[in-house]
Amino acid sequence: MSYDTPEQLRTFADEYDVTYDLLSDVDSAVIREFGILNTLISPDDPEQGAGRSFYGLPFPGVYVTDGNGVVTEKFFHRHYATRESAGTIRDSALGEILARHEVPVVELGSDQVKISAFVSDAAMQFETRSMVHVRFELEDGLHMYGRPLPDGYIASEVTVPDTPGLRVGTVRYPPTYPREFPQLGVTLNVYEGVVDVAIPVTPNVEVFHRSNPDRPDVVDVPVSVLYQVCSETICYTPRTETLSLAVPFQPLLTPGARRAR
């Protein structure tokens, strides 16, 4: 859905081989009806510069519907250039994380746990938010701790350190469940089985702007993992691991560049 004219949308669709329907909403009537008019863009603010050109845009977003056309989920951003990646939308809509063979992945492990890090998409794009997933696969009878915890216990933690060109969002941990430890006289929050942690990561203008001649073809995403695996009778030594994901970066393409390929 766009406020562009049908002629402009047809030109765009022809240039980029778009095969799905595009809605021309010239006066932003449908955009207003949905309540998604971008109110951060003013038609009269002189400091906006190109504000008059952009006024009428919606907040960028995606609605996910079921087979009956009922909206089941939505993804929206404040900045008009930011988007959610296809892999992120797919995983959220399905309600499960698909670790596909074609996406970048790194793995390490021990006798107690296997750890893998992978990205929701085969490549990253400018201002498109992908998910970096870290999966712990614990052996039967073992657990890790999650927050909140009393002092003296180590909670599992996943971080992406500050990296030029990447905007890192809030880490998303799965829910824990309370487990009693009668011998210790405490109830603690634990993880068991397969544990998936997600970190939103968005390539930004600092490195990946198309005017930057030194922009890379591959994005190195560092991932730091802190964890401690325990059984009913023993806690193994806490460990900190660093993984590095080499993720292909898909640059912005002009129509001419696309045809040249």
Per-residue pLDDT averaged across 51-79, rounded?
81
- In tens, the pLDDT along 147-191 reads 999 998 999 999 999 888 888 999 999 999 999 988 888 999 999
Percent of the chain surpassing pLDDT 70: 85
Q: Above 70 in pLDDT, residue 125?
A: yes
Structure pTM?
A: 0.77
Compute the distance between CA of residue 191 and CA of residue 157 in angstroms, rounded to an integer: 12
Compute the distance between CA of residue 66 and CA of residue 229 in angstroms, rounded to an integer: 40
Question: Is 76 in a helix, a strand, or coil?
Answer: strand
Helix or strand (DSSP H, E) at 157: strand 157-159
What is the location of CATH 2.60.40.1250 in the chain?
Answer: 105-250
pLDDT score for 163: 84
pLDDT score for 123: 86
H helices present in the chain, as ranges: 6-16, 29-34, 51-54, 86-94, 205-208, 255-260
pLDDT score for 58: 85
Question: Is 20 in a helix, a strand, or coil?
Answer: coil
List C-alpha distances in Å: 86 to 107, 115, 122.
Answer: 24, 24, 10
Which superfamily is assigned to 105-250 in CATH?
Thiol:disulfide interchange protein DsbD, N-terminal domain (2.60.40.1250)
Q: Above 60 in pLDDT, residue 258?
A: no
Per-residue pLDDT averaged across 183-206, rounded?
90
pLDDT score for 43: 76
- In tens, the pLDDT along 75-117 reads 888 777 788 888 888 887 777 776 655 556 778 878 899 999 9
